[in-house]
A = this chain, B = another copy of it.
Amino acid sequence: MPPVDRQPVPDMLRERSGVVREALGRLLTAPDDPSRDLYEAMRYMVLGGGKKLRPVLVLLAAEACGGTAEAALPAACAIEMVHTYSLIHDDLPAMDNDDLRHGKPSCHKAYGEAMAILAGDGLLTEAFAVLAWPGRDPAVAQRLVAELAEAAGPTGMVGGQVADLKAEREHLGDARLLETIHRRKTARMIEAAAAMGAIAAGASRHVERSLRAYGQHLGLAFQIADDILDAEGTTEALGKTAGKDAAAGKLTYVGCYGLAAARDRARVEAEGAMSALAGFGHAADVLRDLARFVVERTF
């Protein structure tokens, strides 16, 4: 139980994600021209739902380093744009072919495939525009762009997605490939969220490294929890098609190790996340609550 002066994690996530959502809505204001439809499709997905874990983590990491959430807000919006683009493209018929996202029709179901491809492309590009906005500290901007591009690119998220498709199509089941996929697809972006919070706050490299380690562990715990929820949850509760991973022959922690071992591993990763915060004292209490929450929701 968190002490009385700390918000329960679901309330904290709701409040913080509201701040991020409002900023995203401002950044993606539709112009009055032929690209209006594109903005509608981008807004539909960015503002439509989801826990906003990555952008909230950017804000919390910045605060844990003594920075302000306000200074980290552009970085938070940028990482959420990139995460959302990846969901839009993952849902496409040629990829996971999923009709449902956040409890609503997925982007291509609502706006057609061509617009979904372009909405994804638009969000990915705009994320970098937000980070490089004139008037901000150039050295910080450069590091934020480098971090996000590396985490999301061919050696990160996109590479992980390729490995995931390969595993699914070739019915590969080995544990090493599973680790590669989850590290790149999910954990790398959650590590980037923690690192970007540190960078936006002007933290030292030492502090940044600790937050990176926290993000890696949290990211793996989160992905394993997601695998468990997919295996156990209902479509209604998830807001996306449940049991789909197993049906599609996806490589998951539950499929690879079984439910009990997957739960154990999630707990070990959450403990790893806690250890990484050893030097932060009370400044990182909310980050600790978050790591606990990620694992507890699977029980």
Interface residue ranges, A against B (CB under 8 Å): 31, 33-35, 37-39, 42, 85, 89, 92, 94-95, 112-115, 117-118, 120-122, 124-126, 128-129, 131-134, 136, 138-139, 141-143, 145-146, 148-150, 152-155, 158-163, 165-167, 177, 180-181
Q: In the complex, A146→B122 CA distance in Å?
A: 14
Task: Say yes or no: B132 contacts A142, CB within 8 Å.
Answer: yes
Closest to A124 in B: B124
In the complex, besides A129-B149, A138-B141, 4 extra interface pairs with C-beta distance below 8 angstroms are A118-B161, A121-B121, A129-B150, A132-B145
- Check A162/B118 contact, CB under 8 A, given A132-B146, A138-B138, A141-B142: yes
Task: Say yes or no: A162 contacts B115, CB within 8 Å.
Answer: yes
Task: Say yes or no: B158 contacts A38, CB within 8 Å.
Answer: yes
A78 to chain B, nearest CB (A): 10
- Check A153/B129 contact, CB under 8 A, given A37-B162, A117-B95, A163-B34: yes
User: What are the residues of chain B within 8 A of A138 when measuring CB–CB?
Assistant: 138-139, 141-142
